[in-house]
Structure 1
Amino acid sequence: MQADSQTLIHRIDVGLAERSYPIHIGRQLNSELPLLLSNLPQQVCIITNATIAAHYLAPLQAALPSDRTVLVHAIADGEHAKSLTSYAEIMDTLIAAGFNRDCALLALGGGVVGDLAGFVAATYQRGVDFYQFPTTLLAQVDSSVGGKTAVNHPGGKNLIGAFYQPKAVFIYTDCLNTLSSRDFACGLAEVVKYGVIYDAEFFSWLEQNQAQLLARDPETLAYAIKRSCEIKAEIVAADEREQGLRALLNLGHTFGHAIEAEYYHSWRHGEAVAVGTVIAAHYMRLQEQFTESDYQRIVRLLKNLGLPTQAPALDELKWQQRMQRDKKVKSGRMRFILPTRIGHAEMRTITDWSAIWQAISAVTEHTD
């Protein structure tokens, strides 16, 4: 890792042998970007959406080498755009423009844009280069790093996709100034996750720096993003294709995806993950394998950061059906990422549904 205190630039390397790549963290699209992008191929396509383009497309275009052929393809805003229809439309754009196998795709946007652009890159002409420019906190600390690319299917999130690593990731904290408080909080849910599963000291740092994070202080944000990316880079380097350790990054996601699937119009990914994390911790608390004090620390931190800690009302059968579609299910048996203490978690197979349901029920908001 390298740092420049004046421009808040950090560099983290994701170590994957010939597929290794850098993550650059800075404050804004700055004068160093043209140099970092000087080796782009002749044909470049920026994939974004209209909301993001209004803020950041012009600075990115200005940083590109002037002699490149640059296309811009804007998708719709929202999770529904992460679809096979959007995928096909981008493919049509690239084919109609005669883009070759040595072209590059630039993903400018949040997780939807990054996941979709990455899947297009993985499959266009059997694989072309792509670069991530994540503009939401959730994308900066999670989806832009690690090479998971996908589109959704009516049967579930991210069911169609591939592991495909970017050539580089460029993260700028100034992009976060245009996020709503709600979207910003959703990213913080993933930041908290890293402390729960991997780094107790980082969790304590988050507790101590809540006010600065919520104020979006650039230096505080840069450190939170850097540490989150360092943790994810370490995990991905050790387990690129999620055969073991990488599964820990799914803390709260099995429960969270069930909430998202049923309440996709009103719940965001980070909000669902926050509640899923509370359910997972509460389950372990009921098993007397997680302390009351650690449980309360998690709930308190999530609440203080503006995140929900209670699940919406959902029928027990729907919980089961949605969770059975989780990608961690193996041979029909559900597997969960569960914290054993702050800073450590593990994957376990649980066959006693009643114990899981007890934890869900205890964390469900009751309106009666």
Structure 2
Amino acid sequence: MDKTTRIAVGGDRPYDVLVGRDLLDPPQLLPGAQRLAVLYAPPMRGRAEQLAERARMAGVTPLLVEVPDAEAGKHIEVAASCWERLGAAGFTRADAVVGVGGGAVTDLAGFVAACWLRGVRWVPVATSLLGMVDAAVGGKTGINTAAGKNLVGAFHPPAGVICDLAALDSLSPADLAAGMAEVIKCGFIADPVILELVERDPAVAVDPAGPVLRELIERAIRVKAQVVSGDLRESGAREILNYGHTLAHAIEKVEGYRWRHGHAVAVGLVYAATLALLEGRLDAQTAQRHRAVVGALGLPTGYRAEAWPDLLATMRVDKKARGSVLRFVVLAGLAHPTILEAPSDELLHAAYREIAE
């Protein structure tokens, strides 16, 4: 039988992240729940129905709630429709919400749970690589608005997180590679062994049947767990997890959220490294390593040159900005993240020119 790894996330409301295969039993993480709202996007209908059946066997009444796939589901209208379903079913504070799917679905499920009755328990069942190593861990929930990505949300830690590795078997190679952008991020900010494992054999690193991908997932989760355990509300050290994300979120908005999040993060990582290099904080070898590792997985390393004015305007409303002051997470060396505050427009544009297509 496949082992289950438990990774502890500390803080005021500690919980475990379970990593293994064929893990579909959220009721065990939600003792006392009488009803379970299972939010899922259409591609995950079969998995959600399996989970609902497990709930029934445990004496819990499931409520299946289908939501739009990917970023299309992260809208206030979708959240409102979920709350209407909870109200019609008589959900109380003793009940719970489960999000089955990738990062978009778990972001939505967590936000729905955070707001219903001012907070009910919830469990993300991450079925994508991106969801496992990033969105499902840390208690950040949210939806998108016309102004930008994840600008409305709440910090609401889950009762536990389930990372079912069996779900990765059916992911497309493109989705697996995109999810690796968040793994690579963890390598650059905290755990260089991640980079070494990817560089050794990029194809093996994204093989869902092999042990290397599992090790990469567990290492990335441990990086995030360690950071969020000491800073739930992103008031300090947690900001380092946004490495590469300031430009990435701007690209996603400019693209109308049609780009994969991991593709945008990949470009954002290369940009942040270039920014640190030009500012004199990062050595050329480590900066070039970003481009090499990202490129080895077939991820993009640049973006459209003519998009710069729109990207800059969007970055100015980034969550890490303070007033009109832009702030970037950059490296002062491998695994040494720091904050670059108020870079000049000239520096920002110069770095972008280096990666522009």
If the TM-score is normalised by the length of the shorter chain, which range does it land in?
Answer: over 0.9
For the residues of structure 2 that align with 1:61 and 1:40, how far apart are their CA atoms?
A: 16
Q: TM-score, normalised by structure 1?
A: 0.92
Does residue 114 (structure 1) correspond to residue 106 (structure 2)? The answer is: yes
**Greater Cα offset, 278-287 or 199-208:** 199-208
8 Å Cα contact 2:183-2:194 kept in structure 1: no
Show the counterpart of 1:29: 23
1:58 partner amino acid = E
For the residues of structure 1 that align with 2:227 and 2:193, how far apart are their CA atoms?
A: 17
Show the counterpart of 1:247: 239
CA shift, 1:124, in A, is 0.5
Question: 212, 215, 219: which is aligned to 1:223?
Answer: 215
Question: 347, 350, 354: which is aligned to 2:346?
Answer: 354
CA shift, 1:65, in A, is 4.6
The SS at the match of 2:19 is strand
CA shift, 1:216, in A, is 2.2
Residues 139-173 of structure 1 deviation map (CA, whole Å, 9 limit, x = unaligned): 10001000001111111111111000000001011
Show the counterpart of 2:33: 41
2:269 partner amino acid = T
CA shift, 1:181, in A, is 1.7
Does residue 236 (structure 1) correspond to residue 228 (structure 2)? The answer is: yes
1:166-205 aligned at under 5 Å gives the runs 166-205=158-197
Does residue 341 (structure 1) correspond to residue 333 (structure 2)? The answer is: yes
Does residue 57 (structure 1) correspond to residue 51 (structure 2)? The answer is: no
1:28 partner amino acid = D
The 3 A distance-change label for structure 1 pair 153 and 230 is same
For the residues of structure 1 that align with 2:15 and 2:338, how far apart are their CA atoms?
A: 28
Residues 202-243 of structure 1 deviation map (CA, whole Å, 9 limit, x = unaligned): 322332242212222342222111111111010001111111
8 Å Cα contact 2:70-2:102 kept in structure 1: no
8 Å Cα contact 2:18-2:162 kept in structure 1: yes
The 3 A distance-change label for structure 1 pair 40 and 113 is farther
1:236 partner amino acid = V
For the residues of structure 1 that align with 2:241 and 2:102, how far apart are their CA atoms?
A: 18
For the residues of structure 2 that align with 1:43 and 1:289, how far apart are their CA atoms?
A: 52
1:62 partner amino acid = E
What are the ranges of 5 or more consecutive residues in structure 1 without an aligned counterpart? 1-5
For the residues of structure 1 that align with 2:308 and 2:126, how far apart are their CA atoms?
A: 36
1:328 partner amino acid = K
The SS at the match of 2:138 is coil
For the residues of structure 1 that align with 2:3 and 2:295, how far apart are their CA atoms?
A: 29
For the residues of structure 2 that align with 1:359 and 1:88, how far apart are their CA atoms?
A: 41
Show the counterpart of 1:256: 248
Show the counterpart of 1:12: 7
Show the counterpart of 1:3: none
The 3 A distance-change label for structure 1 pair 34 and 274 is closer
8 Å Cα contact 2:332-2:338 kept in structure 1: yes
RMSD between superposed Cα atoms in Å: 1.6
8 Å Cα contact 1:200-1:343 kept in structure 2: yes
Residues 82-129 of structure 1 deviation map (CA, whole Å, 9 limit, x = unaligned): 000000000000101111121111110111111111011111011111
Does residue 285 (structure 1) correspond to residue 272 (structure 2)? The answer is: no
The SS at the match of 1:64 is helix
Question: 287, 302, 306: which is aligned to 2:294?
Answer: 302
The SS at the match of 1:341 is coil
Show the counterpart of 2:266: 274
Query: Taking every aligned residue pair, what percent have the same amino acid on both sides?
Result: 35
For the residues of structure 1 that align with 2:67 and 2:159, how far apart are their CA atoms?
A: 22
Residues 66-90 of structure 1 deviation map (CA, whole Å, 9 limit, x = unaligned): 2221100000112121000000000
CA shift, 1:266, in A, is 4.0
CA shift, 1:44, in A, is 0.9
The 3 A distance-change label for structure 1 pair 303 and 351 is closer
1:8-157 aligned at under 5 Å gives the runs 8-17=3-12, 19-29=13-23, 33=25, 36-37=28-29, 39-54=31-46, 56-66=47-57, 67-157=59-149
8 Å Cα contact 2:207-2:213 kept in structure 1: no
CA shift, 1:305, in A, is 1.1
Q: TM-score, normalised by structure 2?
A: 0.95
1:24 partner amino acid = L
Question: 308, 313, 338: which is aligned to 1:316?
Answer: 308
1:292 partner amino acid = A
For the residues of structure 1 that align with 2:286 and 2:16, how far apart are their CA atoms?
A: 34
The SS at the match of 1:80 is helix
CA shift, 1:322, in A, is 0.5
For the residues of structure 1 that align with 2:276 and 2:257, how far apart are their CA atoms?
A: 30
For the residues of structure 2 that align with 1:316 and 1:9, how far apart are their CA atoms?
A: 45
CA shift, 1:176, in A, is 1.0
1:334 partner amino acid = L
1:233 partner amino acid = A
Q: Give every structure 1 segment of 4 or more consecutive aligned residues whose post-TM-superposition deviation is greater than 6 Å.
A: none
The 3 A distance-change label for structure 1 pair 80 and 38 is closer
